Amino acid sequence: MATATTFPTARPEGYEWLPDEEHFDPDVHLAISEPDEVLSLGDLGYEQTTIDRCVTDVAVSSPFRLLSARGAEVLLSTARRLRAYARPASVRIENTVRGGCYRSRFLRDLCMDPAVTEAMSMLERASPSTTNGDATTQPTLRSVSAQYGARKAFLSTLPYTVTGRSST
């Protein structure tokens, strides 16, 4: 099982924290629930040989809650504030904001929260990953990103590794 790299301790040049941002508090901002249904690739008719090449056999889930009402309000406010840094991304994606966790302490702490990591790991049938005991937000499934590009590397944005599968 692969281990995630640590999140950098220094921000890249040119990134400043958003001023006057609400501090992330998991007791206030999280209201995690599990999805009612999770379908596997096998449930959708994929052959085992295809599934074996994937980092997880999870295909799709029903919606589930992650944030409390207050957490959603703060996240929406943060996203609106980050619009100032939006840039054209591609023909398919009108705009993107890169480095949100280097600009927003709220977003960084949300992504690094152990309860969020655990919830997403359970959904992806994975186990939480740590490096030296610290949760990270660096990709743990780098080979997925390298092989398929960002469109299929969304699983790697939270700190976990998939049990029984290698990311190298």
Residue spans of the domains in the chain: they are 26-126
Quickly state the pLDDT bin for 44 (edges 50, 70, 90).
very high
Give me the pLDDT at residue 65, please. 92
pLDDT exceeds 70 at position 154? no
pLDDT exceeds 50 at position 10? yes
pLDDT exceeds 70 at position 4? no
Give the percent of the chain with pLDDT over 70: 68
Give me the pLDDT at residue 59, please. 85
Give me the pLDDT at residue 133, please. 36
Weakest-pLDDT range from 26-30, 100-104, 141-145: 141-145
Give me the pLDDT at residue 164, please. 39
Give me the pLDDT at residue 145, please. 37
Give me the pLDDT at residue 8, please. 75
Give me the pLDDT at residue 161, please. 38
pLDDT exceeds 50 at position 114? yes
User: What span, in angstroms and rounded, lies between the C-alpha atoms of 147 and 110?
Assistant: 28
Q: Are 158 and 113 in contact (CB under 8 A)?
A: no
Where is mean pLDDT largest: 56-60, 90-94, 96-100, 101-105?
A: 101-105
Give me the pLDDT at residue 125, please. 62
User: What span, in angstroms and rounded, lies between the C-alpha atoms of 117 and 124?
Assistant: 11
Quickly state the pLDDT bin for 80 (edges 50, 70, 90).
very high
101-105's contacts with Cβ under 8 Å and 24+ in sequence apart are 101/7, 101/137, 102/11, 102/12, 102/15, 103/15, 103/16, 103/17, 103/18, 104/17, 104/18, 104/21, 104/78, 105/17, 105/18, 105/21, 105/23, 105/24
Give me the pLDDT at residue 26, please. 97
pLDDT exceeds 60 at position 157? no
